[in-house]
Amino acid sequence: MTNPDVLVVGGGSAGVAAAVATAEAGASVVVLEKNAFLGGKATAAYVGTVCGLYYRSEDPLARYVDNGFPKIFAEQLQHESGTKPFFYKNGLHFLPYNRFAFLRLCDDFLEKNKVSLCLHAHLTHVKKEGDHIVEVGAAVHNCPILFHPKTVIDTAGEAVVARLAGVGIFENEEYQASAQVFEMAGIATDDAQILNLSLLRNIQKGVADGIYPKDYERLSTVPGSLQAGRAVFKLGLPLGVGNDPALVTRLELFARKAVGEIVAFLKAQNVLFKNAWLTMIAPEVGIRTGPRNMGKVVLQKEDVMDCRKQDDAVARGAWPIEFWAPGKNPRMEYFAPGDYYDIPAGALQSAFLKNLFFGGRNISASEDAIASARVIGTCLATGYAAGRMAVGLVRNEIYERPVAEIRRLML
């Protein structure tokens, strides 16, 4: 499998979708994943809910935006997690999920589709000749392996393939705020309103009394997660995320220390948490955005907010812009309920390398546009579309063919 038709770099939501699309179309595919497990931010950072699957609407019944794979994945996830779509404020719908169910579902999809998977696989180099990638090097559990794929799909979330190939990428000084997720059990209520109110009052008083660090103020319950005295919490970290490698370590250390202190504070100060305990801390801090690829087209904020429809659409987005600046509450920008914007094929295709495609949170998009398109539901859709487009290139199909097929399957 060192010469597959398609090499998928990164086994998060988009990477799994890309691999399934590729395998379904009959091409050979290998997925490289640096972690010991699949799912990316959905499992490693345990973000807790799948957004972007449904239209925004005041109708309590959730209606899918993208059909085909995103819908199939969501329905199985719902079944395995024992959850159902959650109707939230402002007409938003999302699906809470169980982390283990997400992990296992990704494994199952790859196994069923006979996708070759390399876990513990770090990308080491990318060699290009002219406008084609000709070689990709990886260390798989510290053993070097060379791949000579016909096409490459970057679903690693940080435009790593383009960076190593030395072509242009979109980079910022600072990216959107990160968060640490953790779960506690033994909480003495199953009423989310009571929990949230008590948490808010407790933190405000703790800060005023000088016994709760202001840096830990941005603590919230993941909506829909409170069940049988267990709840998932998200701590918004006050440190910025940038391109300095030292910052990544600082964030992880800061977040772990903070969770330890928060748990101790809640147990001592909040009667609902008196007998509660920490059951899980997500393996990594959740980093929302990072470097992105430069595609033939760049998805812009106006495309999102004007719900722009495009002739070569291969996926749809319906989540509002949810922009998290460090130390601030999210800036939400809503477009019309019941509407969606198109993601064009050109936003998933490299502007520089003919055999490089991308899906998920590193598609070609502005920082504002990705604040909408990065949600898991949309990542499943763009990942799937990238997979089918990559197969189109392997088969020398005219550009319109995979685009038409994706539209038939998903839109």
Q: Could you give the string, one character per residue 114-133, with x where binding to ligand FAD holds by CB under 6 A and - elsewhere?
A: -------xxx----------
User: Given candidates 21, 156, 305, 345, which one binds ligand FAD under the rule CB under 6 A?
Assistant: 156
Q: Which is nearer to ligand FAD, 123 or 403 (CB)?
A: 123
DSSP letters spanning 311-365: TTEEEEE-SPEEE--TTS--EEE---TT--EEEEGGGGBBSS-TTEEE-GGGSSB
Strand pairing class (132-140; 29-32): unpaired
* DSSP class of 235: E
Q: Which of residues 170-199 bind ligand FAD (CB under 6 A)?
A: 179
DSSP letters spanning 60-80: SS--BSS-SHHHHHHHHHHHH
CB of 371 to ligand FAD, least distance (A): 10
Residues ≥6 apart with Cβ < 8 Å to 228: 190
Stretch that binds ligand FAD, among 13-21, 272-280, 329-337, 398-406 (CB under 6 A): 13-21
CB of 39 to ligand FAD, least distance (A): 7
CB of 286 to ligand FAD, least distance (A): 3
Count of positions on this chain that bind ligand FAD (CB under 6 A): 38
In angstroms, the Cα distances linking 241 to 207, 246, 250, 375 are 25, 10, 10, 18
First CA to last CA across the chain, in angstroms? 32
User: Given candidates 8, 9, 184, 347, which one binds ligand FAD under the rule CB under 6 A?
Assistant: 9
What is the CA angle 66-15-165, rounded to 5? 125
Q: Which of residues 334-393 bind ligand FAD (CB under 6 A)?
A: 360-361, 374-376, 379
Residues ≥6 apart with Cβ < 8 Å to 131: 352, 353, 354
Q: Could you give the string, one character per residue 24-63, with x where binding to ligand FAD holds by CB under 6 A and - elsewhere?
A: --------xxxx----xxx--x-xxxxxx-----------
Stretch that binds ligand FAD, among 11-19, 109-117, 145-153, 238-246 (CB under 6 A): 11-19
Closest to 45 in 3D by CA, of 35, 55, 53, 57: 35
H/E stretch holding 400 reads helix 400-410
Calpha distance 188→196 (Å, rounded) = 13
**131 within 8 A of 123, measured Cβ to Cβ:** no
Q: Which is nearer to ligand FAD, 51 or 278 (CB)?
A: 51
User: Given candidates 71, 93, 218, 288, which one binds ligand FAD under the rule CB under 6 A?
Assistant: 288
CB of 192 to ligand FAD, least distance (A): 16
CB of 136 to ligand FAD, least distance (A): 10
Residues forming the site for ligand FAD (CB under 6 A): 9-15, 32-35, 40-42, 45, 47-52, 121-123, 155-157, 160, 179, 286-288, 360-361, 374-376, 379
